[in-house]
Amino acid sequence: MNIALIAHDQKKNDLVQFVTAYQAIFAKHTLFATGTTGLRVNEATGLNVTRFNSGPLGGDQEIGSMIAKNQMDAIFFFRDPLTAQPHEPDVTALVRLCDVYAIPLATNMGTAELLIRGLELGLLEWRNVVKKNGDINER
């Protein structure tokens, strides 16, 4: 499965620790990330991470493009709700795309724990059916 990793500055350490804790699960999947987050995850874990631009420079939009093309299966986006983000419209657009295309999105440690355990148990296999049969929104 294709998994995106994104974290606001104040949450990068949390995401790196999370990926490190579940490295064995993440290693079975193809990882994508925004710039600095991807670098930090790669340096801490040695996992191969395809890196996009940083979020404020369009990385969120690059991941959003993959969602719209049915090429992303899950998003771990550790958001900082207490700090204003200069690229908040991009963040909102990414969250909206996850809702439009039914992409599982974890925005905090609690939800991330549930999503990673579901991934481990194979509960996201329905994504393979969606990818095979086309866009979830096609009628």
What average pLDDT does the chain have?
91
Please state, in angstroms and rounded to a whole number, the distance separating the CA atoms of residues 55 and 78. 12
Look at 74 and 124; give whichever has higher pLDDT. Answer: 74
> Which of 79-83, 107-111, 132-136 is predicted with the least confidence, judged by mean pLDDT?
132-136
- List of domains in the chain: 2-131 (3.40.50.1380)
Burial 49-71 (b: 16+ CB within 10 A, else e): bebbebbeebbbbbbbebbeebe
Q: Which pLDDT tens digit goes with each residue over 26-62?
A: 999 999 999 999 999 999 999 999 999 988 888 999 9
Please count the residues of the chain: 139
Q: Which pLDDT tens digit goes with each residue over 99-127?
A: 999 999 999 999 999 999 999 999 888 88
Instruction: Place 137 in a pLDDT band, splitting at 50, 70 and 90.
Output: low
Enumerate the active-site residues.
60
Please state, in angstroms and rounded to a whole number, the distance separating the CA atoms of residues 98 and 9. 21
